[in-house]
Structures are given as structure tokens and as C-alpha cells.
Structure 1
């Protein structure tokens, strides 16, 4: 794999399986109370332009569990927020820390960090992709389904950064993917083309009921992402037919698993009865952010 993780496509299928195997092993050992100091004296800088619950917690706990240290850096509290360039920031941070995880508005910020720094850069979320989330999704799918190849992965809602990464992840692992999005909210065309070039079978349609037929996995995200707040009313109107609810579940396979990267806006993109229901894997999915990120940090830093 690359020395950075900016896109899920920076990984090969073999890389993904290695990371998932490592994550599963670390998860089992953590449950038994086994501790490690493999990353002793290693420091991760966590740069946040966007607010976070799971990304901050999972990376900070991951470093602690592995014997290392994580530093939380809010963009507004840094000289970045007062005009220092991303390039200079990357050069300086590389003198202090062993890796940088950044959660940013623009994907170009991550590219600039990786091109100017000398340490691994991890995409904790950008406007284009969310690869760490997809690693957690893949671990959860494997735990529930035992395989990837031939599964029908169905995305319902906004063709956003998570959907973009899902297309690439499905292409790399042999899952078929259908994304049902309102017109005008389809996923990134360049990433769609890249996923298909990787061998992915990916369909983009506008009918959520049709998409859900024979689904093994139903996945969604909020309708109004950070930065889209001014479009709130319009988005709620446009996405109203794209809610994951009991009626939509009836179209899918009886053992369909439901994923949501959280936070969930119950009553909008998903109903409470689904997110808390027997088909839901969302809280296992959230926990698995910790385990896959530990595996990723070990791969990049040890």
C-alpha cells in the first residue's frame, strides 16, 4: 500500500484483507484485555477542520491502546486559521510527529499535506472520500456475511464522500453496488469511472425501492452533510422518498444488514425502528472504526 491513505483506492484487495485480519485480531485481543506498546514514543497529530465524535475518539483511543500518543489540533486554534500555508504546516508537523490524520473540507488539503510533509497522511474525511469509514464497513460486512464477492451493496440517499468511497471499496472487494440518489445528487462521476475501471459493477439509479430489491446491505448517511446547512430545507424535500424504513426493508433480502456511518438523524434518512432493529449493524460498525484504524496505524507506523 501507499505511505498515505487519502483514498480507499490507495489500497489493493490484499492490503484490505491484511488490514481486516489485523483489525479482527486486535479486536479479539482487546476484548480479552491484552495491551500493547508497539507504537510507544510515536505521536499522531489529528487536525480537525470539521467537528467529530467517532473519528476523534477512535484515532485517539487507537493510539493510546497501541502505546502511542495523539494530539488534537483544531484548525481555528492553529496558525493555519490565521493564514499559514498548508505546505508550511505539513513541513513543520513532520518534524514533530510520526503521522498526520486530517478531517478537512477540501480533499486538496490532504493532497497538499501529503506532498509537502514527510510522514504518512490519513484521510479522516474530506469532501471527496471517507476511506477509514469504508474500512470499518468492510470489517462489519465480513463479520456479518463472511464474504464480499457477489454481495449486493445498496446505497440510499446522497451520493456523497462516503458513497464515493463505497463505490471504490465495492470494486476492490467484488461486491455489486447500486446507488439510489435523487437527480442532481449522484456520486462523483470521476470516482464512478475509476471504480468501474477497477472492475466494479456499479449502477446509479433514482428509484430507491427498485434499488433495494435483493439487497444484502443497505447503507445510508445524513441528507445534510457538514457544509450543506444552507440547503437544509431543499434537501429534506428532495430526499424525502429516500428514507430507509420498514417499507424499504421489505424490498430487500430477509437478512439484509443496515449500515449508517452516524450520526443518524432519526426520522430523516432512517427511522428509529430500523436503526434500533434486528437488521441494524450500525453500532458494531461504529465500534469497528477503532479496530481498523489501529490496524492502519500499525501498518503505517510500526
Structure 2
């Protein structure tokens, strides 16, 4: 008698039950280190931080429940919170556009078929590997010091340079300039996006008489807009999390002109030992970055174009 469709389905189901557990166990074994890290280093600390944000905790005594008092104080009575938000906003606005523009410019230069182009690409990527380190921050502090390399170079032309890091009008922009210098990773992503644009688009537009500038604005920018959007999101998030440069170069000074939000959070946690208060600051930062990211996603439908036609 011929085997019915139902019998075949039942046999396949039984076979799947016998084979699947072996693969499930192997997959679980390989995922175990990642799961341990996710729970122990991400989810666990986040839950603890959320709880501590509602407490008074000085690292030496047990946390004491405080309800919403930390959040209330931050939003209504903490002038340094407002200052750090303003400084961070200026930092993001002054560094992110220039970083993206410079990274795109370098990516366009490196998107050429010339001999040894791989060496040039590696050389331009190196700053992103070292830019966030303590050593580079110390070097930057020395370069822009009152007797640093920048002022010595200006002195050759008879210009008396400012004490860049000691002047509240310039200190934050010096740190922003270091962020622009760390364009390597952004440049690599732009370069990958440029290499995905078909050459036929440029050839067809050239036949129609389009100039290089027209090709850039009519082909390159629209085709690259998803990559620009991705880099913009990552740069904004990174800007609000920036800490090392401000901590090493100026430590928030002069006159709190470089008091970035992450640096203020660190000071509250490990200088003033107000861990509960710092946890509340961290969650407010998360909410703020989430809102900004959502706004960028909302506005993306007006300027981000996908080849499939979806926006």
C-alpha cells in the first residue's frame, strides 16, 4: 500500500525530533560564552544600574531606597547636568559633521584604482586605531599646549597663538578636532559604500554631459545616503559617550567648558562616590540618545534613499 502524505509528515517529524537536539546542544555550547557575557556584562549591570538609580549608594554602605529623588534633583537642581548637556551638544554638533565630511572626502580619494592603494588605505585607517588611546590624548594635549607644536608653528609666521587648552573659548573645539582626526573607521565604511555604486551610473551620466560635481550630488550622495545615515547614527552615539579625551586632556576644564556628559557621570560615580546618582545620569543619557536616534530615523525618510525604492 502506498505511503500517504500524512505518514510521510509524521516520519519526518519523528526524524527531526531525533536529530534536532544534537544540533541544539552544539549551538547552545557555542553560544554559551556569548550568553554568559551578555548576562554578566550587559543585562546584569543594566538591571543593577536601573535599581541603583533609585537609591543613595556611596560604594561603602548598602544602597538606601530614595525613589525618584535622584532624577528630581538632576532635572530641577543640578546646574552641572545642564552644563554637561550643553557642552556635549556643542561637541557633537561641532565634531560629527566635520568628521563625516572629512571621512567621505578621504574615502573618495582612496576609491581609485592606483598602484599601492591598499597601503594608503591602511595608513589612513591607523589614526582610528590609536585615536581613542591615553597616549594620543596626551600627545594632543602637548601639541596644543601653550608651548606646543601648534603655537611654535604659528610663531614662525609671527602669530602669537592662544593657550588653546586653557581658554574656555577654544578648549572644546580642540577636543572636537581630535574626534575629526579619528575618521578611519568612518572612512572605511564610506569606502565600502562607494565601491558598491555601479560604474555604469557614472558612465551613463558622463555620456549625458554630467560634470563630476553633478555626479557627486546626483549619484554618489543619493546612492550613499544609507551609509551616511549609518555613520551619522554611530557618530552621534559615540559623541554622547565620549570620555577619554576630555578626561585626559582637560579633565572638564577650564571653567567646565569641556565637561562632557560622560565625564560628569564619571566624576559623580568615582570622585564623589554617588553611584546611585551616577546611575540615574546614565539612564537619562540612554533615554536622550534613544530619543535622538528615533528622531534621526524619523527624518531619514526624507533624505535616505534605497536602491529598492524603499525609504
TM-score by structure 1 length?
0.25
Structure 1 or 2: more helix by fraction? 2
By relative contact order (CA 8 Å, sep 6+), the higher-ranking structure is 2
Bigger Cα Rg: 2
Structure 1 or 2: more strand by fraction? 1
